[in-house]
Amino acid sequence: MKVYGITVSYYTGKLEAYLRYKGINYELDHPYADQKRIKELAGAIQIPIVERNDGRWMSDSTPIIQQLEQEHPTPTVLPSDETVRFIAMLIEDYADEWLWRAAMHYRWSYEHDRELLSRILTDEVMTHIPLPRFMRRRLIKKRQRIGFVVRDGVCADTQAHVEAGYLNALTNMEAMLSERPYLLGSTPSIADFGLMGPMLRHFGQDPTPAEIMRDKAPAVFSWLARVWNARATAGEPTFVSEVPDVAAPMLKEIAETHLVQLAENAAAYGNQQKHFEMTVQGCSYKNLPVSRYRVHCLEQLREAFDALSDGAQSKVKSLLPYPEAELLWQAAPIAKSEYDEAREAPFNKAINVYGNGVPQ
Ligand SMILES: N[C@@H](CCC(=O)N[C@@H](CS)C(=O)NCC(=O)O)C(=O)O
């Protein structure tokens, strides 16, 4: 398969870590020279996008991995216990959609990181733009900082909270990794691959957050290399049969942050708003872009919860004893994204995370 991606991209890093683990061969290519064709075939210009040898296209790392798990079932990255599997998927969603803001902030707000990454992106993916290099660099810096930092609610009032979100992720992962080599077992699960998104190509590699990781969370730093170097072997995958107590602080953080954002975003989407506000752990965020894709993420989590047995549902509720978590099982309907209604993902037409906030 051909993976259209970039060597410093969040979700490309997540997918590559998974493909390497499973031993699935791929070739990395850049999407930007052939945007029109990719837009037609895959729906959105985002990365990663996969062009398969059978001619089909896949987008969105979460359903791509789910699809590949069906095609390459052993050894699985999905824990067999349904409660553990649900929690692993929740951690993946938090890694995908909550830690994104902190990752973009460190990369584009700090000068050293911004200078380095704009140079890498300019030379890797902007060579087709007929402008001098310094102008291409200036363009990418502006696009990324305005689009993904300033317009995503990062400002003087929220910066400390955004950074605390990264530090909390490190502390909570360190705790889990003190008991086992991977978050939920002695082989990596979808929770580990989810967290490889923010941790591998952003926090572990961009100068400012990487220094923090080495300094404050060396166990996470070594976990990064461990996951990257992990290879699925013929042996059985080994996951915990119950969510360990040491995961509690991470689950509390997910309820207080990611689930609040999912709830407020979905409510705003239902009201046809383009922007929304939220208060997370006492910090107030204003003017956030509504994301249709994240309404879909919430729907997926609610469906996964719904599909659990009664026993597993009670266990998940006791692992998440927070009012913010109730939206995962509350009876009151939430806004519908109407995205992928035909259930074709990852073969459907993708949408950008902020590109389709309000139904057209
Ligand atoms: N939900 C998608 C998100 C993919 C995504 O947003 N990728 C980023 C880069 S890491 C992107 O392509 N952003 C579009 C842009 O910058 O215009 C996934 O899980 O793969």
Q: Ligand 1 centre from 311 Cα, in Å? A: 36
In-domain check, residue 231: no
Stated as kind and residue range, the H or E segment containing 253 is helix 248-256
At position 23, the amino acid (one-letter code) is G
Q: What is the pLDDT of residue 277?
A: 98
Q: What is the pLDDT of residue 356?
A: 53
In-domain check, residue 305: yes
Tally of domains within the chain: 1
**Which domain range does residue 270 map to?**
256-328
Q: Ligand 1 centre from 11 Cα, in Å? A: 7
Q: What is the pLDDT of residue 357?
A: 38
Q: What is the pLDDT of residue 239?
A: 97
- Residue 11 CA, closest ligand 1 atom number: 10
Q: What is the pLDDT of residue 342?
A: 95
Q: Whose CA is nearest to atom 18 of ligand 1?
A: 60
Q: Whose CA is nearest to atom 1 of ligand 1?
A: 60
Q: b vs e for 76-85, b when ≥16 Cβ sit within 10 Å of the residue's Cβ? A: bbbbebbbbb
Ligand 1 proximity of 291 Cβ (cutoff 6 Å):
no
Spatial contact of 91 and 250, defined as CB atoms under 8 Å apart: yes
Both tokens assigned to 64: 């791509």
Ligand 1 proximity of 162 Cβ (cutoff 6 Å):
no
Q: What is the pLDDT of residue 237?
A: 83
How many Cβ atoms are within 10 Å of 268's Cβ, its own excluded? 23
Q: What is the pLDDT of residue 243?
A: 98
Ligand 1 proximity of 61 Cβ (cutoff 6 Å):
yes
Both tokens assigned to 70: 């069906």
In-domain check, residue 287: yes
In-domain check, residue 199: no
Q: What is the pLDDT of residue 33?
A: 66
In-domain check, residue 288: yes
In-domain check, residue 297: yes
Q: Whose CA is nearest to atom 11 of ligand 1?
A: 46
CA 63 to chain centre: 12
Spatial contact of 223 and 182, defined as CB atoms under 8 Å apart: yes
How many helices (H) and strands (E) in the chain?
Answer: 15, 6
- Residue 144 CA, closest ligand 1 atom number: 16
Q: Ligand 1 centre from 351 Cα, in Å? A: 9
**Tens digit of pLDDT per residue, the chain (360 long)?**
999 999 999 999 999 999 999 999 999 998 776 788 888 889 988 999 999 999 999 999 999 999 999 999 988 999 999 999 999 999 999 999 999 999 999 999 999 999 999 999 999 988 888 999 999 999 999 999 999 999 999 999 999 999 999 999 999 999 999 999 999 999 999 999 999 999 999 999 999 999 999 999 999 999 999 999 999 876 778 999 999 999 999 999 999 999 999 999 999 999 999 999 999 999 999 999 999 999 999 999 999 999 999 999 999 999 999 999 999 999 999 999 999 999 999 999 999 999 753 332
Q: Whose CA is nearest to atom 17 of ligand 1?
A: 46
Q: Ligand 1 centre from 4 Cα, in Å? A: 11
CA 188 to chain centre: 16
Q: Ligand 1 centre from 316 Cα, in Å? A: 29
In-domain check, residue 335: no
- Residue 23 class from Cβ within 10 Å (0-12 exposed, 13-18 middle, 19+ buried)? exposed
Ligand 1 proximity of 351 Cβ (cutoff 6 Å):
no
- Residue 256 class from Cβ within 10 Å (0-12 exposed, 13-18 middle, 19+ buried)? middle
Q: Ligand 1 centre from 234 Cα, in Å? A: 33
In-domain check, residue 304: yes
Q: What is the pLDDT of residue 360?
A: 28
